[in-house]
Amino acid sequence: MAKIRNLILILGDQLTPKISSLKNADPMQDVILMAELPEEASYVQHHKKKIAFLFSAMRHFADELRQSGWTVLYITLDSPDNQGDFTAQTQKAIQHFKPQNIIVTDAGEWRLSQMFKNWQNILKINIHIAPDTRFLCTEKEFENWAHGRKILRMEYFYRDMRRKTGLLMDDDKPVGGKWNFDTENRKPADNNLFMPQPKKFAPDATTQNILDLVSTRFDNNFGDIEPFTFAVTRDDARRAFDHFVQNALPNFGDYQDAMLEGEPFLYHSVIAQYLNCGLLDPLEICRKVEAAYHAGTVPINAAEGYIRQIIGWREYIRAIYWFKMPQYENENFFNHHRPLPNFYWTGETDMSCVKDAIAQTKRHAYAHHIQRLMVTGNFAMLAGVNPHELHLWYLSVYADAYEWVEMPNTIGMSQFADGGLLASKPYAASGAYINRMSNYCKNCAYNVKKRTGKDACPFNALYWDFMSRHADKLKTNPRIGQMLRTYEKFSEEEKQAIKISSENFLKKLS
């Protein structure tokens, strides 16, 4: 091999040959470094399935690169050459290859991005940090968009992304006459619906070796390693998405907010883990959804709703993360400090909705957005759980969780801990919402119709107590005012009963 020009570091969530660090690279002069590092696998207690998915996808991507002519130095978790962290591993590779430059695409997490920025002084070599071009909106573009706005609502950002991409546009007008069909996407599900399953893939020899490794090295981590049915290659990830478009997307719009006991997937795509690690391209999958709409196989509310999740919400959340870090991580508008209840790890609770959401999280490293927002997130906010502890839990337990996407969803959307920068209101709800959108309440130990008492649904007393505790902070919010006025109409006896029921339940959590 000719003299090494560049050592190119590729991270575990940069698994695409289109990554910017490879843009001007040359297989004849450059070497790629990839590594399964203990520090990255353990900075939170990641779900076993999440670790296995990423390690297997990384190994398969390394093979993909080698087949394209690249020299890849791949350090496995159990390699004697594993140095444990990115800095030490890169330092060792520099000593071996003596490259002229280090090239890396900027990380998706603040801590790693800051580490790369400090490498110039530590590693004593030229460091080139390339921007991550997989996203549609750059940090600078978002700063320009946000300039002068007191409130950063996703809806207006989303419209600009529609204009920029041309997705579902008819010249300068939205297809269907509306930008947003969300009001048509709130049907509750029932047991008579046909439930297509996400496409599943049997582990190959590489994946099976990883499963054995993770079972041994991370045996005390949260979650079930089996069954493992994720795609771990680009081709299989595309097959999984095509399967969703054909079998589930037509009903995704109608039932995307629905929840059914024992049905973890419903009409969801379950491809965020592929998208967030680079196996799928966001614009490519949106074009497929748009094509399905134009072909007449998918209704507008499903196509628009899905595209909004990708070019609207996903892009917006990432932009908020970089716009507000590092202080965003510790926002705590309600001053909540209760420790995260242990049942978030065990699933041992009599609340049917919470139990089911955590059980499927443990089994699949997955729960859909309403289960995260309106069940586990809603409960944590009503109970006064420290939002940072909840953030670390979500980061740990979901296969699609990376800090840039998970933290704003938790701190801003789920917990309203940023005071309304991101969400227009706290997403607080009593048991009535869960009963309307699911069948969880039918077999629950608690009575969803009761507000107070030992057998009353805990969400009910906690909801009204939350409103009472934070009335001063919420009274100016136009979307909450009606509920506060309703609370004020309760008798003093009812208010006291709510307070006692809430306090009694929260004592059990301790």
CATH number, domain with residue 258: 1.25.40.80
| 330 part of a folded domain | no
pLDDT given for residue 481 in this prediction:
85
pLDDT given for residue 339 in this prediction:
97
Integer Cα distance of 507 and 505 in angstroms: 5
Number of domains composing the chain: 3
Integer Cα distance of 171 and 481 in angstroms: 40
Same domain, 125 and 188: no
pLDDT given for residue 510 in this prediction:
73
pLDDT given for residue 321 in this prediction:
97
Last residue of a domain, one of 310, 330, 358: 310
Same domain, 362 and 410: yes
| 215 part of a folded domain | no
Q: In this structure, are residues 88 and 123 in contact, taking their beta carbons and an 8 Å threshold? A: no
Same domain, 415 and 495: yes
Integer Cα distance of 188 and 438 in angstroms: 6
Residue type, 324: K
Q: In this structure, are residues 334 and 417 in contact, taking their beta carbons and an 8 Å threshold? A: yes
pLDDT given for residue 153 in this prediction:
85
∠ CA(247), CA(189), CA(168), 5° rounding?
50
Q: In this structure, are residues 105 and 113 in contact, taking their beta carbons and an 8 Å threshold? A: no
Same domain, 111 and 153: no
Same domain, 498 and 370: yes
| 325 part of a folded domain | no
Nearest alpha carbon to residue 98 among 29, 26, 32, 7: 7
DSSP codes, 344-400: HHH---S-HHHHHHHHHHHHHS---HHHIIIIIIHHHHHHTB-HHHHHHHHHHH-TT
Same domain, 163 and 280: yes
pLDDT given for residue 194 in this prediction:
65
| 337 part of a folded domain | no
CATH number, domain with residue 95: 3.40.50.620
Within 196-339, residue ranges assigned H as helices are 205-217, 234-247, 249-255, 272-277, 282-294, 300-307, 315-324
Integer Cα distance of 340 and 140 in angstroms: 36
Q: Between the CA of residue 257 and those of 434, 436, 494, what are the distances in Å?
A: 10, 11, 32
| 401 part of a folded domain | yes
Q: In this structure, are residues 267 and 251 in contact, taking their beta carbons and an 8 Å threshold? A: yes
Whole-model pTM: value is: 0.95
Residue type, 221: N
Q: In this structure, are residues 427 and 377 in contact, taking their beta carbons and an 8 Å threshold? A: yes
| 107 part of a folded domain | yes
Same domain, 476 and 372: yes
Instruction: Going residue by residue through the chain, which has 510 residues, state the pLDDT in tens, using 9 for 90 and above.
Output: 457 999 999 999 999 999 999 999 999 999 999 999 999 999 999 999 999 999 999 999 999 999 999 999 999 999 999 999 999 999 999 999 999 999 999 999 999 999 999 998 899 899 999 999 999 999 999 999 998 887 788 999 999 999 999 999 999 999 999 999 877 666 777 766 667 899 999 999 999 999 999 999 999 999 999 999 999 999 999 999 999 999 999 998 888 889 999 899 999 999 999 999 999 999 999 999 999 999 999 999 999 999 999 999 999 999 999 999 999 999 999 999 999 999 999 999 999 999 999 999 999 999 999 999 999 999 999 999 999 999 999 999 999 999 999 999 999 999 999 999 988 899 999 999 999 999 999 999 999 999 999 999 999 999 999 999 999 999 888 889 889 999 899 999 999 999 999 999 999 887
Integer Cα distance of 218 and 224 in angstroms: 11
Same domain, 348 and 468: yes
Same domain, 147 and 269: yes
User: Residue 102 forms beta bridges with which residues?
Assistant: 7, 127
pLDDT given for residue 183 in this prediction:
76
Same domain, 374 and 354: yes
pLDDT given for residue 151 in this prediction:
79
| 212 part of a folded domain | no
Same domain, 87 and 168: no
Residue 187 is given by DSSP the state P
The number of beta carbons lying within 10 Å of the beta carbon of residue 481 is 12
Q: In this structure, are residues 318 and 135 in contact, taking their beta carbons and an 8 Å threshold? A: yes
The helix (run of H) or strand (run of E) holding residue 129 is strand 126-130
Q: Between the CA of residue 381 and those of 188, 330, 355, 451, 510, what are the distances in Å?
A: 23, 15, 17, 18, 16
Nearest alpha carbon to residue 182 among 265, 270, 295, 306: 306
Same domain, 178 and 298: yes
| 316 part of a folded domain | no
Structural domain boundaries, residue 125:
6-130
pLDDT given for residue 196 in this prediction:
87
Last residue of a domain, one of 78, 99, 130: 130
Q: Which residues contact 250 (CB under 8 A, 6 or more apart)?
A: 297, 298, 299, 302
Residue type, 219: D
Within 75-123, residue ranges assigned H as helices are 86-97, 110-123
Last residue of a domain, one of 290, 310, 330: 310
User: Residue 263 forms beta bridges with which residues?
Assistant: 260
Residue 447 is given by DSSP the state B
Q: In this structure, are residues 314 and 137 in contact, taking their beta carbons and an 8 Å threshold? A: no
